[in-house]
Amino acid sequence: MIQNQTLIINFSKFLIKLLPIYKAIIAKKELTLIVPSLYITEIITFLKDNTNCQFKVLIDICAVDFPERNQRFEIVYNLLSIKYNFRIRIKTLVDEITPINSLTEVYEAANWWEREVWDFFGVFFINHPDLRRILTDYGFEGHPLRKDFPVTGYVEVRYDDSKKRVIYEAIEYSQEFRAFDFTSPWDQNRTVLLSNK
């Protein structure tokens, strides 16, 4: 079990030597790696198969939208090594039009997580066997967890008694501009190890 801060630092230095890592961050005995999206499949495969890593469980994949950045989407992979009782977080950045490689060949569990990220954020995964909406309707327009998605949505659904059917109507509300405060109280007490790449 990796509990000691020194062991976590040594483990992160080991990974920095072997993998193309932009940055390693240690916060509250948790290791987060910022990696290039181009090599996500190779990095995750290494973390799963290497004897010193053994991250055999994909806990989840999620995304975060930062509209003020050029690469606005942060894709987050949470992995677990049962053998070493240790979790690791892998983050990579993509923009609205750049696709990212699917991890369904590495972890079968990635299938529905990637579909959810596609559905809610619009991040496209290359080589995904069945990339389609998973939680919204197939005719749904837009991606509802993007920060630029209107709070009220694009259409309104209601039942019309005279037509005896459900109808979709465009919403005509004017929406006020939303200002976002991107500061985080959790960005304190972090140890940042920069890679030499």
Q: Dihedral of the CA atoms 96, 57, 50, 27 (nearest 10)?
A: 70
Q: Residue holding tokens 């987050």?
A: 76
Mean pLDDT for the stretch of residues 123-137: 93
Mean pLDDT for the stretch of residues 74-85: 96
Q: How many helices (H) and strands (E) does the chain have?
A: 3, 10
Number of alpha carbons in the 13 Å side-chain half-sphere of residue 121:
27
- Write out pLDDT tens, residues 154-188: 677 788 899 888 888 777 655 555 566 666 666 66
pLDDT of residue 172: 66
**Domain 5-194 sits in which CATH superfamily?**
NADH:ubiquinone oxidoreductase Nqo5 subunit (3.30.460.80)
Q: What is the distance between the alpha carbons of residues 175 and 147, in angstroms, rounded to a whole number?
A: 13
Q: Residue holding tokens 């919403």?
A: 171
By mean pLDDT, which of 31-40, 47-56, 169-178 is the weakest?
169-178
List helix spans (H) across 58-97: none
pLDDT of residue 179: 63
Mean pLDDT for the stretch of residues 140-149: 87
Would you say residue 41 has pLDDT above 90? yes
pLDDT of residue 169: 79
- Write out pLDDT tens, residues 89-115: 999 999 999 999 999 999 999 999 999
CA 107 from chain centre, in angstroms, equals: 15
Would you say residue 54 has pLDDT above 70? yes
3-state secondary structure of 75: strand
Instruction: Sketch the domain layout of the chain as residue ranges.
Output: 5-194
- 115: CB partners within 8 A, 6+ apart: 128, 130, 131, 132, 133, 134
| pTM beyond 0.85 | no
Would you say residue 1 has pLDDT above 50? no
- Write out pLDDT tens, residues 26-35: 988 899 999 9
Average pLDDT value over all residues in the chain: 87
Six-digit token string for 26: 């240690």
pLDDT of residue 138: 79
